[in-house]
Amino acid sequence: MSDAAANREQWGSRIGLILAMAGNAVGLGNFLRFPRQAVENGGGSFMIPYFIAFVLVGIPLMWIEWGIGREGGVRGQGSLPGMFDVLWKNPVAKYLGVLGLFMPLVVLIYYCYIESWTLAWTFFSLTGATRGLDQEAMRGFLASYQDLGNGTVHGFWTPFIFFFITLAANIWVVTRGLTAGIERLAKIGMPLLFVFAALLVLRVLTLEPHAVTEVVNGVATTRMWSPWDGLQFMYNPDWSALNRPSVWLAAAGQIFFTLSVGMGSLQAYASYLKKDDDIALSGLATCATNETAEVVLGGSLAIPAIVTFFGVTGAVAISKAGGFDLGFVAMPLVFNQLPGGVIVGTAAGVMWFGLLFFAGITSSVAMATPAMTFFEEHFGWNRKQSGLLIGGLALLLGLAHIVWYSRGFLDEWDYWAGTFGLVIVALVETIIFVWVYGPDNMWRSLHEGAAMRIPRFFKVVMTYVTPVFLIVMMIWWIRQDAIPTLLMVGKPEAEIPVRWASRAVMLGILAVQLLLVRMAWRRRDTATERLRRAA
């Protein structure tokens, strides 16, 4: 073992590791994206492709990423350029690994902005700022925030202040280190998240039926809606959906986002494992924890609550308006109408946005980790220095997201890095770890220190099925989304310059990271040469 490997930090406890890994996976998407996807893609039938994708893509990728991370970590490499370099002795490998620095950094920057909304709404819930607003006013409340006050509800500086606080909290956690920062946050944040979510689910599922007047085809009808109608709406099977390839792709995409695979952050966390630490069972426990948060808790919150107070027609309209409308418009409206008055409504609001904030921050600190470890390991910086650099960069670029949010600046990053890029990273890492490193080496690596034997079926899945699944997914997305998105089909004229600027900034970040990797390897080669000459 090299000095760099011997001096690396390690997880303080197995439960800390699992909670941090699960915290990385459990994010805003578990509570805002999953229910929408289920409702829009066949309800109960969506669960069939969802669980098939979980077994064929989700769990295998999770093990692959844990395996890559540990293989890199025991050789002193905490980010993908170094990990790919040790797995594949080819000069190209480290440059492919740059994707594992680029994706988490880019996603971290805009994710922190969205995360700051949850902190802001926790504050607004506490101060009663959203109390008494009707649907139109609540939507205006969110729009005003996104549009920098717009001279109406919020002050111009409000989004900046919450973004700064959120970013500072993230940087404070990561600079405190692995055990004192990240692990401690997970040990506090994850139990709180589950307690808040469980209490809210209990409250939602015990709501009394509520009379809702819906206008369908010009005819107004009033009927009683209960949370069970919401669950019925969510789980009612539509068998015809299974014939649509888009439903299968949507299910695979949801599994991808929810487990945070293809990002580079899982590998960075796994690099702090010891050589004989268990991967097989711990990885599976992390997946299972995430699925509990998503299917049992996330699936029983927003949709049942919204159907109870707005009926199915209202819930569909809100769901179509996007996940943010679901979380930041509809849910506060629900809390305003909860029986029990101001105290219950305020408590529910604080718990809902509080759990979203914990879901967000436990993911964003993981996204900051690959870039930080890269500077520590390749340029000899300490955590504080690398944290301040990442924080400064995120602050600077985050301002662009705040200012141009409504003109598509964030959309571009979310699509190219946060959606399409993840599939590319996953495909590249699967090829390198399974095919280049070799299926037998991969299998042996996953079983070092394993607390369970992985069924042999998964070796076949990882070798053939997962890569094919990823290739099909990529081709489909290129055809369906990537080309129209690249050509900005249907985008308003006013957004086009901002969207190009957004892409230029992303390409700039990628170019700088490629240069940094080149510099890092030159430094390493020079140092090795010097040592060789001295010897």
Q: Which of 452, 507, 511, 515 binds other proteins (CB under 8 A)?
A: 452
- Residue 79 identity (one-letter amino acid): S
Q: Which of 12, 44, 140, 322 binds other proteins (CB under 8 A)?
A: 44
- Give the burial string for 180-213 (b: 16+ CB within 10 Å, else e): ebbbbbbbebbeebbebbeebbebbbebeebebe
Q: Is 39 in the site for other proteins (CB under 8 A)?
A: no
Q: Is 14 in the site for other proteins (CB under 8 A)?
A: yes
Q: Which of 296, 460, 512, 519 binds other proteins (CB under 8 A)?
A: 296
Nearer to other proteins, 276 or 525 (CB): 276
CB 197 to other proteins: min, Å:
14
Considering only residues 297-336, where is the footprint of other proteins by CB under 8 A? 299
CB 190 to other proteins: min, Å:
13
Nearer to other proteins, 235 or 443 (CB): 235
The HSE-up count of residue 442 (CA atoms within 13 Å, CB side) is 26
Token pair listed for 34: 């999953």
Task: List all residues 6 or more positions away from 313 whose beta carbon is below 8 Å from its beta carbon.
Answer: 214, 215, 216
DSSP string, 141-174: HHHHHHTTTTTTSS-TTHHHHHHHHHHHHHHHHH
Q: Is 295 in the site for other proteins (CB under 8 A)?
A: yes
**3-state per-residue secondary structure call for 515-530:** HHHHHHHHHHHHHHHH
Task: List all residues 6 or more positions away from 507 whose beta carbon is below 8 Å from its beta carbon.
Answer: none
Angle at 360 between CA 67 and CA 99, to 5 degrees: 45
Q: Is 16 in the site for other proteins (CB under 8 A)?
A: no
Q: Which of 12, 16, 43, 439 binds other proteins (CB under 8 A)?
A: 43
Angle at 170 between CA 192 and CA 369, to 5 degrees: 105
CA dist., res. 36 & res. 39, Å (int): 5
Q: Is 446 in the site for other proteins (CB under 8 A)?
A: no
Helix (H) or strand (E) holding 220: strand 219-225
CB 48 to other proteins: min, Å:
9
Q: Which of 289, 445, 463, 485 binds other proteins (CB under 8 A)?
A: 289
Q: Which of 28, 138, 231, 259 binds other proteins (CB under 8 A)?
A: 231
Token pair listed for 374: 């890269």
Query: 219 — phi, psi (to 5°)?
Result: -110, 125
DSSP string, 489-513: TT--GGGHHHHHHHHHHHHHHHHHH
- Give the end-to-end CA distance of the chain in Å, rounded to a whole number: 20
CA dist., res. 333 & res. 138, Å (int): 8
Q: Is 406 in the site for other proteins (CB under 8 A)?
A: no
Q: List the one residue out of 527, 388, 367 whose CA is nearest residue 519.
A: 527
| Cα-based distances in Å from 179 to 11, 20, 186, 381 | 6, 10, 10, 19
Q: What pairing do the DSSP bridges indicate for beta strands 219-225 and 210-216?
A: antiparallel
Helix (H) or strand (E) holding 86: helix 80-87
Q: Is 232 in the site for other proteins (CB under 8 A)?
A: yes
Q: Is 235 in the site for other proteins (CB under 8 A)?
A: yes
Which part of the chain contacts other proteins (CB under 8 A), choosing from 171-179, 293-301, 368-376, 475-483?
293-301
CB 23 to other proteins: min, Å:
15
Nearer to other proteins, 291 or 412 (CB): 291
- Residue 377 identity (one-letter amino acid): E
Task: List all residues 6 or more positions away from 232 whose beta carbon is below 8 Å from its beta carbon.
Answer: none
Q: Is 95 in the site for other proteins (CB under 8 A)?
A: no
What is residue 237's DSSP assignment? B
Nearer to other proteins, 15 or 192 (CB): 15
CB 55 to other proteins: min, Å:
11
What is residue 178's DSSP assignment? I
Site string for other proteins, 239-278 (x = CB under 8 A): ---------------------------------------x
Nearer to other proteins, 58 or 78 (CB): 58
Which part of the chain contacts other proteins (CB under 8 A), choosing from 39-47, 93-101, 240-248, 344-352?
39-47
Q: Is 451 in the site for other proteins (CB under 8 A)?
A: yes
Tell me the β-bridge partners of 225: 210
What is residue 76's DSSP assignment? T
Q: Is 282 in the site for other proteins (CB under 8 A)?
A: yes
Which part of the chain contacts other proteins (CB under 8 A), choosing from 116-124, 260-268, 283-291, 408-416?
283-291
Q: Which of 123, 160, 164, 228 binds other proteins (CB under 8 A)?
A: 228
Q: Is 71 in the site for other proteins (CB under 8 A)?
A: no
Q: Is 148 in the site for other proteins (CB under 8 A)?
A: no
CB 354 to other proteins: min, Å:
23
Which part of the chain contacts other proteins (CB under 8 A), choosing from 40-48, 105-113, 170-178, 341-349?
40-48
Token pair listed for 460: 């076949």
CB 59 to other proteins: min, Å:
10
Q: Which of 135, 146, 158, 292 binds other proteins (CB under 8 A)?
A: 292
Which part of the chain contacts other proteins (CB under 8 A), choosing from 115-123, 194-202, 288-296, 432-440?
288-296
Question: Reduced to 3 states, what is the DSSP secondary structure of residue 57?
Answer: helix
Which part of the chain contacts other proteins (CB under 8 A), choosing from 91-99, 181-189, 249-257, 279-287?
279-287
Question: Reduced to 3 states, what is the DSSP secondary structure of residue 221?
Answer: strand
CB 364 to other proteins: min, Å:
24
Residue whose entry in the numeric block shows the structure tokens 């076949």: 460
Instruction: Tell me which residues touch other proteins (CB under 8 A).
Output: 14, 18, 43-45, 47, 51, 228, 231-232, 234-237, 278, 281-282, 284-285, 287-289, 291-292, 295-296, 299, 451-452
